[in-house]
Structure 1
Amino acid sequence: MKKLLIPIFSAIVLTSCGSSIHSGDKQNSNQNTSSSDSKSEKAFNKAYHQIKYNDLKKNLYVIASDEMEGRDTGSQGQKKAGEYIVKFYKDLGIEFPKKLGSYYQKVPSSYMKKRGGGNLPDSENILAFIEGSEKPEEIIVVSAHYDHIGTKNGVVYNGADDDGSGTVAVMQIAKAFQKAKKKGNGPKRSILFLHVTGEEHGLFGSAYYSDNPVFPLSNTVADLNIDMIGRDDIANRGKNYVYVIGSEMLSSELKIINEVANKKTNNLELNYKYDDPKDPDRLYYRSDHYNFAKHGIPVAFFFDGIHEDYHKETDDVEKIDFNLLQKRTQLVFATAWELANREARIVVDKK
């Protein structure tokens, strides 16, 4: 995560792939709807259980290894991490956006320099894409930054939590959707799995994407952004929780959808502390979701808090709580599943 530079819950059920009753015999329609809902529920459950503890652990031990040299923007270590991520998608058969022509969206040094990026070299966002079966033009974005702060005085800052945890979460969510697609249960809307660069230096990768979108921002339904979900902070030590930031800033529906998804899955404690506009940490503005929110796109930012190893050389894989990482990843997946498969696109009804 970018370092700070300045000091009545109604009875709603997930609609996943459910069919509305339009005409015909009511009893038969109810039976058909029930059958459709049952099939959808089974598809969801099978996909949900693809998000596995051991897979998250395996990938994070690579992404946050010393070999990646702290993944500083444009560094050789970051490029190695990017190659690993791309190979993961290729092995699963998840393609890149056809319009882009590859998994890589170049983020030029000149772009970052104009925004205070100093002499950072060229870098890349990584984009993987699953096309929707019914509403392919509508896009759900699941994002995380894969850069960190590099190596200092010969010490590697591995960034296992920041944001190795979010990086591997996006990868596993993509795997879950792809497994569902192969079983004939692909998402109705398209899903873009977006790994952005340059976050630590100034949210550069996500800013570049929002300035040069591969898909029209007007067709982008929501961004679920994951930045640090593998640890706990002092205030919540030992709890099954996650901070959710911004989920009702632009859409009254997104927060409700996320809460329903949470109750359906691991029932984590959802902490909204950082939704307070007066909060001095200003976290709503400090990760990549903001470059979608500023364009009026609903966002939810999933975060574990600022812990004692934040931006230190001690942010290592050995300190990750993989049980909690798995639960939080499953929550984001369940929220994305509903956004991708519900009948109506969520509304933007706030500013």
Structure 2
Amino acid sequence: MKRLFIPIFSIVMLVSCGTAKAPADAATDQSSNVKGDKAFLTAYKEIKADDLKKNLYVIASDEMGGRDTGSPGQKKAGEYMVNYYKSLGISYPKALGSYYQKVPADYMKQRGGSNLPDSENILAFIEGSEKPEEIIVISGHYDHVGTQKGVVYNGADDDGSGTVAVMEIAKAFQSAKKAGKGPKRSILFLHVTGEEHGLFGSEYYTDNPVFTLANTVADLNIDMIGRDDPQNRGKQYVYVIGSEMLSSQLKVINEAANKKTNNLELNYSYDDPNDPQRLYYRSDHYNFAKNNVPVAFFFDGIHEDYHKPTDDVEKIDYKLLEKRTQLVFATAWELANMPTRIVVDKK
């Protein structure tokens, strides 16, 4: 997650999340009832702590050099991810022609990212069986802050945890597809670059979308879900940010999915319009939100190793990472399989 920086154009009024309610039947009438859905449960069980750990030990290894934007280490991490998708039989968007969406250095320089080289977003894609033109985006940034004074900042939590979660969710959806129970709507697995320098990869995608944003149903963004913060030490929780800023239904659907699965404590404290951290604006979901796409940002909080060289794989709570990943998958499953897409009824 990028450090706090609030350009003037980003300052808008937040909608209070304490009182808005979705229609009473929003979650019940449209829910796919994941608790009794055998296809869902089979896919859900594909998300495993050991597999998340295996991938994270590669993504956040010293070999990747801290994955700074456009660096050789980041490109090596990207190659690993692409090979992972190939091994699962998950392809890229046909309109893109490859797994890579180039994010030019000039584009980033114009937005304050001076001296950054060309980089790439990585996109994997599962086409929907009934409503392929409607897209659910599951995003996470795969860059970190690189190597400083010879010390590698591995970024195991920020955002290695989100990176491997997106990969694992893709595996779960692909297993359902192979069993003949693929998602009705299409799923875009979007690994963005340049987040730490200014949300550049997600901004580039929303400026140059592979799929029209008008047909993008929601973005579920995962940025740091492998640790706990001092306020929630030892709890089974996750922060969910922005889930009812634009839609009266997304928060309801996420809560229903949570209750039917691991029943984590969902913390909405960062939805407060007076949040001094202004986290709603500080990760990649915001570039979708400012384009009127409903978002939910899953986050574990600011812990003592944030943006330090001590953000290492040994400190990840892999079982909690598994549960949070399963929650995002369950929410995405609901969004992908509901009879009608969620409404955008807030500004």
- TM-score for the superposition, normalised by structure 1: 0.92
Deviation at 1:277, TM superposition (A): 1.2
Displacement after TM superposition at 1:14 (Å):
7.6
Post-superposition offset of 1:13:
3.8
Question: Which digits, 9 at most, give the CA deviation of each residue in 1:73-121, with x for residues without a partner?
Answer: 0000000000000000000000000000000000000000000001100
1:3 maps to 3
Aligned to 1:336: 332
Counterpart AA for 1:146: Y
Quick check: 1:51 aligned with 2:47?
yes
Match of 1:145 among 141, 147, 152: 141
Q: Report the 3-state secondary structure (helix = DSSP H, G, I; strand = E; otherwise coil) of the residue aligned with 1:129.
A: strand
| C-alpha distance in 2 between matches for 1:162 and 1:251 | 27
Contact 1:16 1:337 in 2 (8 A): no
Name the amino acid aligned to 2:5. Answer: L
What SS does the corresponding residue of 2:217 show, helix, strand or coil? strand
Unaligned 5+ segments in structure 1 are: 19-36
**1:5 Cα deviation (Å)?**
2.7
Give the counterpart of 1:125 among 114, 121, 125. 121
- Does residue 266 of structure 2 align to residue 270 of structure 1? yes
After superposition, the C-alpha distances for 1:280-303 in whole angstroms (9 at most, x for unaligned) are: 000000000000000000000000
Q: Distance in 2 between matches of 1:309 and 1:265?
A: 29
Q: 8 Å contact 1:14–1:260 — kept in the other structure?
A: no
* Deviation sequence 1:302-342 (CA, Å, 0-9, x none): 00000000000000000000011000000000000000000
The within-5 A match list for 1:1-351 is 1-5=1-5, 12-13=27-28, 15=30, 41-351=37-347
Please tell me whether the aligned partners of residues 245 and 301 of structure 1 are also in contact (alpha carbons under 8 angstroms).
yes
Unaligned runs of 5+ in 2: 8-20
Give the C-alpha shift of residue 15 in structure 1: 4.3
For residues 13 and 332 of structure 1, the distance between their equivalents in structure 2, rounded to whole angstroms, comes to 19
- Per the alignment, in what secondary structure is the counterpart of residue 72 of structure 1? coil
CA distance in 2, matches of 1:14, 1:318: 43
Q: Find the structure with the greater CA-based Rg.
A: 1
AA aligned opposite 1:2: K
Tell me by how many angstroms 1:61 deviates.
Answer: 0.2
Look up the equivalent residue of 1:273 and give its one-letter code.
Answer: S
Whether the 8 Å contact between 2:30 and 2:340 is mirrored in structure 1 is no
> Aligned partners of 2:96, 2:106: CA distance in 1, in Å?
20
Give the Cα separation in 2 of the matches to 1:307 and 1:240: 15
Task: Tell me the distance in 2 between the aligned counterparts of 1:291 and 1:257.
Answer: 22
The one-letter code of the counterpart of 1:86 is V
Determine helix, strand or coil for the equivalent of 1:88.
helix
Please give the secondary structure, in 2, of the residue aligned with 1:140: strand
Amino acid across the alignment from 2:2? K
Matched residue of 1:95: which SS?
Answer: coil
- Alignment RMSD (CA, Å): 1.6
TM-score (norm 2): 0.93
Distance between the aligned counterparts of 2:100 and 2:29, measured in 1?
Answer: 34
Q: Contact (CA 8 Å) 1:14, 1:338: kept in 2 or not?
A: no
Which letter maps to 1:47? A
Encode CA deviations 1:139-189: one digit per residue, 9 max, x unaligned.
Answer: 000000000000001000000000000000000000000000000000000
1:26 aligns with none
Letter in 1 for 2:109: K
Separation in 2 of the partners of 1:17 and 1:312?
A: 42
User: C-alpha distance in 2, partners of 1:269/1:13?
Assistant: 21
